[in-house]
Amino acid sequence: MSIGHTLLGLLESGPRHGYDLKRAFDAHFGQDRPLHYGQVYSTMSRLLKNGLVEVDAVEPGAGPERKRYAITNAGVTDVAQWLARPEKPEPYLQSTLYTKIVLALLTDRDAAELLDTQRAEHLRLMRGLTERKRTGDLADQLICDHALFHLEADLRWLELTAARLGKLAEAVRA
């Protein structure tokens, strides 16, 4: 996720302080990975330097002065371009799990056990996501669906690999 673009998008509704940006980010996108204040301010500094935001106001606070940021026309254009650009699908052509399976076979370890352990871990995570989806709001449901679909694809791959383990062992040991 592009944090800079996300913060710019949040600013389109109106100027905000860094604290308010962090709260809005966490409310919409940061349930599993909240944004750190330092990351907000370093990102805003970079956006300011690049002309995508401006300081709308400086207000005295209990500590340092509080800056309120506003998006510039260049920032609006940048967000629009980012939103219009499709994300590159990321196929896992060099998966760590595949590497572990091959190394287990090459070193005469039990690759089937490795697959079983991984399957159990996937199922454990899927149970947790299913519960979160059941009790969550619409955003949680959509995020959990995305993760569950990926985990289901992984499970299908695990089953396929387990079915072909003998042939894979012959191929890697040849």
**pLDDT tens-digit series, residues 72-121:** 999 999 999 999 888 777 776 557 888 899 999 988 889 999 999 999 99
- Between 168 and 173, where is the model more confident? 168
What tens digit of pLDDT does each residue of 49-80 get?
Answer: 999 999 998 887 777 778 999 999 999 999 99
pLDDT of residue 92: 67
Q: Which residues contact 155 (CB under 8 A, 6 or more apart)?
A: 119, 122, 123
Quick check: pTM over 0.85?
A: no
Report the C-alpha gap between 115 and 98 in whole angstroms.
10
